[in-house]
Amino acid sequence: MGRRVAIVAALWFAFWMILGAVMGGVLSKAGDGTEGIYFGFFNGAWWALLTSFAWPWIMPAAIDRWMYRSPVG
C-alpha cells in the first residue's frame, strides 16, 4: 500500500509544482520570467501540501480504490 500512496503523492506534488511554475512564468513581468517560474514552482509545493489534506473529498473514487487496494485483492 505504501508504494501506491507514494506514487499518488508524487504525482500530486508534481502536478501542483508544474502548474505553479507555469502560472508564475505566465503572470511574471517581462524580463522576470525565470524568477516567476522559480517562485511559482515552490509556491506550488505549498499548494500541494495544503490541498493534500483535502484528498478524501477531491480524490476520484477509482484512484482511491487503487491506492488502498491490498496486493492479494
Q: What is the DSSP string of 23-37?
A: HHHHHSPTT-HHHHH
Q: Is 55 within 8 Å of 28 (Cβ atoms)?
A: no
Amino acid at 60: P
Q: The pTM is what?
A: 0.77
pLDDT in tens, the chain (73 residues): 678 888 888 999 999 999 999 999 999 888 888 899 999 999 999 999 998 888 778 888 888 888 877 666 5
User: How much is the pLDDT for 72?
Assistant: 60
| Cell numbers describing residue 5 | 500512496
Q: Is 37 within 8 Å of 25 (Cβ atoms)?
A: yes
| Cell numbers describing residue 52 | 493534500
* Calpha distance 60→29 (Å, rounded): 36
User: How much is the pLDDT for 15?
Assistant: 94
User: How much is the pLDDT for 38?
Assistant: 92
